[in-house]
């Protein structure tokens, strides 16, 4: 007998169990991984980590006891991160990328019968991980120019009483950062935890860390997720972290697998923090390049939105986005096709690359729009 949807492995012939029915229509995360010369689709840093970091890392690897489990508490890494943000180590939780941070929060605070709020268009994994953890999603809208609408925040948080309200600042894929005063207002409206995803935080004019470190009302309900995948040039290492109240950190530790953070990664993150000036130099270069791309786009028949991150959202006016995307790919330039995402009809997103990559992108885009 074939397994009946929703029944798991039933009583008849042995067979593969069916997938949880609430996951059936999920399609997973899709960003094309194809061989191209100019890869501008996943917002990584185009610049490798500093040579000095690589040397330190190679040397440090030889001190690792590879036959032993790593430090489960990631003590030294958390201490270094805490120091860099002016918080206590008990306020830091590390994981395999900030996606795993988001998943830990949802495992700990979400689940059946619980709801999280988010404001779309935003980072799609917030909704996706909520679904995989069987957490209900109350989705509000951002304004047409991708700002937070406080009336909408009030409506959604008031009606749904979410355990977590997610913000993303700078927001992916619009690139817009939410002003601190607005985050403060969202916090006041939020009955539970306000999680601010700051994957691109180093590009933003301000950070929710200021609220968390302050003594304003609700500071203990602010949690900030950050990553080494972008400005730290370490997407290949998969390392992210959370800064939050110690109680939130303990909740995340509760759902983490034993020894989830390997020794090499702990070392890599700790050493990276010695190269903060090099990281800041990369941010400065990318900001400058972002300005150049924005100026290039302004001269073309596309709509664009101002960005506080290392990517720019744009919408071709006269040529269908999918055609433009294919044309760019034919010229070995890969950007992100968001054209069928809710609230982003016809939009594409380009990551800021190296100067020559950005030139290639602008030239290919110009051609594709003719
Ligand atoms: N948050 C946002 C807003 C992102 O854009 C990304 C990467 N696409 C992530 C989190 C996840 O980053 P990672 O898991 O690599 O740390």
Residue 99 — φ and ψ, nearest 5°? Answer: -60, -40
What is the distance between the alpha carbons of residues 107 and 119, in angstroms, rounded to a whole number?
A: 20
Give 99 Cα–ligand 1 centroid separation in angstroms: 6
**Does the beta carbon of 174 sit less than 6 angstroms from any atom of ligand 1?**
no
- What pLDDT was estimated at residue 10? 58
Residue 42 CA: distances (Å) to CA of 32, 49, 257 = 9, 17, 27
What is the distance between the alpha carbons of residues 227 and 199, in angstroms, rounded to a whole number?
A: 5
What is the distance between the alpha carbons of residues 152 and 154, in angstroms, rounded to a whole number?
A: 5
DSSP H helical ranges for the chain: 51-61, 75-85, 98-109, 124-132, 150-160, 180-189, 209-213, 246-255, 263-272, 276-298, 321-330, 355-368
Give 10 Cα–ligand 1 centroid separation in angstroms: 38
Read off the pLDDT of each residue in 192-217 and give the average, rounded to a whole number.
Answer: 97
- What pLDDT was estimated at residue 4? 43
- What pLDDT was estimated at residue 3? 42
Burial zone of 45 (CB within 10 Å; 0-12 exposed, 13-18 middle, 19+ buried): buried
Mean pLDDT estimate for the chain: 95
CA-nearest residue for atom 8, ligand 1, is: 42
- What pLDDT was estimated at residue 81? 98
CA-nearest residue for atom 2, ligand 1, is: 199
What is the distance between the alpha carbons of residues 147 and 141, in angstroms, rounded to a whole number?
A: 9
User: Are the beta carbons of 170 and 197 closer than 8 angstroms?
Assistant: no
Q: For residue 53, what are its two tokens?
A: 């970091």
Q: For residue 59, what are its two tokens?
A: 């040397």
Q: Dump pLDDT digits (tens) for 69-120.
A: 999 999 999 999 999 999 999 999 999 999 999 999 999 999 999 999 999 9
- Does pLDDT of 1 surpass 50? no
**Percentage of the chain surpassing pLDDT 70?**
96
Secondary structure (3-state) at 32: coil
- What pLDDT was estimated at residue 101? 98
Give 173 Cα–ligand 1 centroid separation in angstroms: 11
Please identify which residue in the block is written with the tokens 């071709």.
Answer: 316
Give 18 Cα–ligand 1 centroid separation in angstroms: 30
- Does pLDDT of 186 surpass 90? yes
Q: For residue 305, what are its two tokens?
A: 């939105």
**Does the beta carbon of 229 sit less than 6 angstroms from any atom of ligand 1?**
yes
- What pLDDT was estimated at residue 11? 67
**Which atom of ligand 1 is nearest the CA belonging to 102?**
10
- What pLDDT was estimated at residue 31? 72
Read off the pLDDT of each residue in 132-143 and give the average, rounded to a whole number.
Answer: 97
Which residues, 6 or more positions from 174, have their beta carbon under 8 angstroms from its beta carbon? Answer: 121, 142, 146, 305, 307, 313
- What pLDDT was estimated at residue 8? 57
**Which atom of ligand 1 is nearest the CA belonging to 43?**
8
Nearest-10 Cα torsion for 205, 211, 213, 217: 170
**Does the beta carbon of 168 sit less than 6 angstroms from any atom of ligand 1?**
yes
Q: Dump pLDDT digits (tens) for 293-344.
A: 999 999 999 999 999 999 999 999 999 999 999 999 999 999 999 999 989 9
- Does pLDDT of 5 surpass 50? no
**Which atom of ligand 1 is nearest the CA belonging to 123?**
3
Secondary structure (3-state) at 327: helix
Q: For residue 136, what are its two tokens?
A: 């209900």
Q: Dump pLDDT digits (tens) for 6-58.
A: 455 556 899 999 999 988 877 766 677 789 999 999 999 999 999 999 999 99
SS3 content of the chain, % helix, strand, coil (to 5): 40, 15, 45
What is the distance between the alpha carbons of residues 232 and 324, in angstroms, rounded to a whole number?
A: 31
DSSP letters of 253-318?
A: HHHSPTT-S-HHHHHHHHHHGGGHHHHHHHHHHHHHHHHHHHHHHHTSSEEE---SSSEEEEEESS
Q: Dump pLDDT digits (tens) for 351-363.
A: 999 999 999 999 9
- What pLDDT was estimated at residue 27? 74
Give 195 Cα–ligand 1 centroid separation in angstroms: 14
**Does the beta carbon of 97 sit less than 6 angstroms from any atom of ligand 1?**
yes
User: Are the beta carbons of 148 and 140 closer than 8 angstroms?
Assistant: no
What is the distance between the alpha carbons of residues 251 and 253, in angstroms, rounded to a whole number?
A: 5
User: Residue 281, by phi and psi: left (phi above 0), alpha (psi -120 to 50) or beta?
Assistant: alpha
What is the distance between the alpha carbons of residues 90 and 127, in angstroms, rounded to a whole number?
A: 28
Q: 192: which DSSP letter? A: S
């Amino acid at each position: 007998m074939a397994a009946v949807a929703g029944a798991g492995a039933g009583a008849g012939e042995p067979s593969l169990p069916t997938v949880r029915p609430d996951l059936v229509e999920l399609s997973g995360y899709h960003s094309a991984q194809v061989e191209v010369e100019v890869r501008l689709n996943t917002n990584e840093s185009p610049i490798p980590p500093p040579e000095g970091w690589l040397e330190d890392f190679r040397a440090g690897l030889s001190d690792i006891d590879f036959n032993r489990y790593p430090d489960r508490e990631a003590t030294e890494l958390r201490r270094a991160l805490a120091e860099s943000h002016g918080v206590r180590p008990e306020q830091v939780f590390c994981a395999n990328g900030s996606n795993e941070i988001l998943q830990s929060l949802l495992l700990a605070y979400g689940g059946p019968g619980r709801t999280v709020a988010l404001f779309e268009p935003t980072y799609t994994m917030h909704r996706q991980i909520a679904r995989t953890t069987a957490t209900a999603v109350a989705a509000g809208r951002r304004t047409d120019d991708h700002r937070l609408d406080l009336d909408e925040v009030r409506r959604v948080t008031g009606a749904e009483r979410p355990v977590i309200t997610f913000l993303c600042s700078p927001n992916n894929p619009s690139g817009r950062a939410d002003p601190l005063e607005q985050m403060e207002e969202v916090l006041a409206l939020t009955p539970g935890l306000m999680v601010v995803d700051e994957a691109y935080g180093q590009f933003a004019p301000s950070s929710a860390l200021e609220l968390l470190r302050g003594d304003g009302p609700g500071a203990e309900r602010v949690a900030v997720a950050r990553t080494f995948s972008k400005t730290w040039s370490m997407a290949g290492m998969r390392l992210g972290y959370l800064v939050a109240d110690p109680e939130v950190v303990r909740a995340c530790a509760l759902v983490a697998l034993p020894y989830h953070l390997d020794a090499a990664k702990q070392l890599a993150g700790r050493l990276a923090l010695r190269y903060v000036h090099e990281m800041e130099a990369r941010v400065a270069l990318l900001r400058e390049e972002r300005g150049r791309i924005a100026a290039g786009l302004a001269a073309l028949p596309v709509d664009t939105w101002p960005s506080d991150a290392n990517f720019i959202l744009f919408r071709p006016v006269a040529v269908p986005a999918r055609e433009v995307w294919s044309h760019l790919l034919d010229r070995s330039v890969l950007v992100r096709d968001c054209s069928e995402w809710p609230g982003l009809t016809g939009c594409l997103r380009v990551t800021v690359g190296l100067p020559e990559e950005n030139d290639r992108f602008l030239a290919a885009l110009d051609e594709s729009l003719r």
